[in-house]
Amino acid sequence: MTEILRVGIAGLGTVGASAARIVGRNQNAIDARAGRPVRIVAVSSRDRTRDRGIPLDGFVWHDDPLALASSDEVDCVVELIGGDEGPARATVERALESGKHVVTANKALLAKHGAALAAKAESAGLHLAFEAAAAGGIPIVKTFREALAGNVVTRLYGILNGTCNYILSRMEAEGLSFAECLADAQRLGYAEADPTFDVEGFDTAHKLALLTSLAFGAQIDSEAIYVEGISAIESIDLRMAEELGYRIKLLGVAERTKTGIEQRVHPTMVPKTSSIAQVMGVTNAVTIDADAVGELTLIGPGAGGDATASAVIADIVDVAAGSPRPPFGWPGARLERAERAPMQRHEGGYYVRLSVFDRPGAAAGIASRMAENDISLESILQRRTEAAAADPTGRSGAPVPVVLITYATSEAAIRAAVDTIERDGLIAEDPRVIRIERD
């Protein structure tokens, strides 16, 4: 097969421009790996005047991405517009309906419409490739879809958002507040002006939905994901984690349990000795537990123009080589509607930080409430505040930070215990609960 694969890029932002630049720079190597010439022939973007650092005069320009998706001069459409509806969805659907292969980095679109789009691609014998949609430059989609085809996966967990990992890394290393680190991340371009999508966990949840489907052969179920962000994490939590031998990371976790597939995104304490605890800054990482390979951890850049474009180009090369695979690694008809594992049934260790009024009976009351819910405590740490330390009677009444580390228990038990402790009036502010993910 020697005919040219003609590629059109819809969305010429940072990733699109990087993809065009890399294809031009590494043309010979890409052609050799693809087995035929790969050429970007058309682009679509809203602004023709913007300087993208690449020559654009050799491309056919379409103001409307739907026109590019319908063009007879294009064989493969790369969708880099973004968003789960609007032009992005319409472009992908039009491309598939027009008999064109699709490469996309759009995790939001796939988390919401992936099953329907995959069915369109499969029925037409077309590629729907999305390596760049989860963990950027890490080849995690290919790992699940191809390299681990002979394995049964029991759990996956990972750092899937570089913005959150950067903020937590800076907070730990420099003792800064969340607000200070977020402002710095925005200044450096790691966080958007409105950072909610990243710091509240939604970006991680979209990526986790895709990886869960690939790992377990399950239909995408983004509504089943429990989501909690990092905005409530304070410097004291990172200091206590350090003292206890842990680091705090925002993890996406998917696990097959007795009650179904559990999917959750939340701040997590991980042992400092674990591979994933060593991942700092904007880097991403995914750890997979499988029966044949055991534990496998992939680490690499999770964002950035060149890293994401690298994943896009890898998918384009697969398109050029032919033989489309089912987008989620399993034929669409074989993807199962997995039973949801309710978050309340999650079992594991917990870090609980309480701001306890320093007065007689408070500690006994907390211990009693934990015991009533069958929660066993592994350790208790108390830090005296200046006001409490200045009182020679030891009964200042001032709030004192108390940290409890539990043995394995259920989410329902922890929530019941801390709710009762709050109602008892034993604490001065909302408790901080962080789950522990042990090896």
Q: How many other CB atoms are there within 10 angstroms of residue 293's CB atom?
A: 13
Q: What is the CATH number of domain 5-133?
A: 3.40.50.720
pLDDT attached to residue 93 = 97
Rounded CA gap, 165 and 153, in Å? Answer: 25
Tell me what pLDDT residue 330 has.
86
At 160, list the tokens: 């899937």
Show Cβ contacts of residue 342 under 8 Å, excluding neighbours closer than 6 positions.
259
pLDDT score, position 78:
97
d(CA 404, CA 381): 7
> What's the confidence (pLDDT) of residue 322?
87
Mean pLDDT, the chain, whole residue set: 91
Q: Is 345 exposed, middle or buried (0-12, 13-18, 19+ CB in 10 A)?
A: middle
Question: Which helix (H) or strand (E) covers residue 109, if one does?
Answer: helix 107-124
Question: Tokens in use for 384?
Answer: 């005296």
Phi, psi of 301 (to 5 degrees): -70, 130
- Integer Cα distance of 196 and 62 in angstroms: 32
The answer to whether 71 and 7 are in contact (CB under 8 A) is: no
Query: CA 286, 287, 290 angle in degrees (round to 5)?
Result: 135
Q: What is the rounded CA–CA span in Å between residue 311 and residue 326?
A: 18
In angstroms, the CA 134 to CA 329 distance is 15
Q: Is 207 a catalytic residue?
A: yes
DSSP-derived 3-state class of residue 31: helix
- The answer on pLDDT for 115 being more than 60 is yes
More confident residue, 58 or 124: 124
Mean pLDDT of the 389-418 span: 81
3-state secondary structure of 369: helix
**Is it the case that residue 40 has pLDDT exceeding 90?**
yes
124 three-class SS = helix
Does domain 140-301 match CATH 3.30.1490.20? no
Looking at domain 346-436, which CATH architecture does it have? 2-Layer Sandwich (3.30)
Higher pLDDT, 61 or 54: 61
Indicate whether 360 pLDDT > 80: yes
% of the chain exceeding 70 in pLDDT: 96
- Alpha carbon 386 to its chain's center: 40
SS3 string, 303-364, reads: CCHHHHHHHHHHHHHHHHHCCCCCCCCCCHHHCECCCECCHHHCEEEEEEEEEEECCCCHHH
Nearest CA to 348 out of 273, 228, 268, 435 is that of: 435
- Is 70 exceeded by the pLDDT of residue 252? yes
- Choose, from 107, 120, 207, 249, the residue flagged as catalytic: 207
pLDDT for position 393: 52
Burial class (CB in 10 A: 0-12, 13-18, 19+), 18: buried
At 239 the pLDDT is 93
DSSP type of residue 216: H
Kindly state the DSSP code that residue 133 receives in the 8-state scheme: G
CA–CA separation, 73 and 34 (whole Å): 19
What torsion do the CA atoms of 56, 6, 90, 311 make, to the nearest 10 degrees? -80
pLDDT of residue 392: 54
State the Cα–Cα distance between residues 148 and 157, nearest whole angstrom. Answer: 16
Give me the pLDDT at residue 1, please.
47
Beta strands in 105-143 (DSSP E): 128-129
Domain boundaries, the chain: 5-133, 140-301, 346-436
Of 48, 46, 42, 54, nearest to 17 by C-alpha is 54
pTM of this prediction? Answer: 0.91
